[in-house]
Amino acid sequence: MLQAWGEAPIKQFVHEAVEEALRLESALAKLDTSQRVAVLHYSPIQETVEGEPCDILPFLGSSRLEEPLNRFSVAFALHGHAHHGQVEGRTSSNIPVYNVSMPLLKKHFPDQPPFRLLEVPV
Ligand SMILES: [Fe+2]
């Protein structure tokens, strides 16, 4: 989680991450369903970006996105953007997080088409 200090462009970047987390929270709150699945561009946890160069980790996701996933007990979350991370991880509340970036899926599952088939628990 990058903090809002220093120059204006960094503060703007952090502001965008905060806004993204608020939009996620609002969207999850509006769902009147028995199960929720979150589809994100950026990773909500560090685990699925590990393997990427450490100097770009703050630009591959934000732990600000994790809290709404935990609070609304989503079934699982999907994200892309981190092409050299890990295919699976878990939030601090044990919610599965899947990195489904196509280059990563092609690399990790070379003998199958680059997609994941996931079952939403009932
Ligand atoms: Fe991206």
| CA 6 to centroid of ligand 1, rounded, Å | 25
Whole-number Å distance between alpha carbons of 75 and 35: 6
Tell me, what's the pLDDT at 3?
76
Residue 90 domain flag:
yes
Residue 115 domain flag:
no
Please state whether beta strands 88-90 and 96-99 pair in parallel, antiparallel, or not at all (unpaired).
Answer: antiparallel
Residue 3 domain flag:
no
- Please report, as a single letter, which amino acid is at residue 77: A
Tell me, what's the pLDDT at 60?
94
Residue 45 domain flag:
yes
| CA 41 to centroid of ligand 1, rounded, Å | 6
Give the chain's domain count: 1
Alpha-carbon torsion angle 75, 70, 85, 7, nearest 10? 140
Residue 116 domain flag:
no
Percent over 70 (pLDDT), the chain:
100
Hey, which residues does 79 pair with through a beta bridge? 40, 99
- Give residue 53's domain range: 8-108
pLDDT digits (tens, 9 = 90+) for 4-28: 778 888 888 888 889 999 999 999 9
Residue 118 domain flag:
no
Q: Are 38 and 24 in contact (CB under 8 A)?
A: yes
| CA 80 to centroid of ligand 1, rounded, Å | 7
Residue 99 domain flag:
yes
| CA 60 to centroid of ligand 1, rounded, Å | 8
Alpha carbon distances (Å) from 79 to 6, 9, 31: 29, 25, 19
Residue 113 domain flag:
no
Task: Please tell me the pTM assigned to this model.
Answer: 0.92
Tell me, what's the pLDDT at 64?
94
Tell me, what's the pLDDT at 36?
96
* CATH code, domain carrying 25: 3.30.750
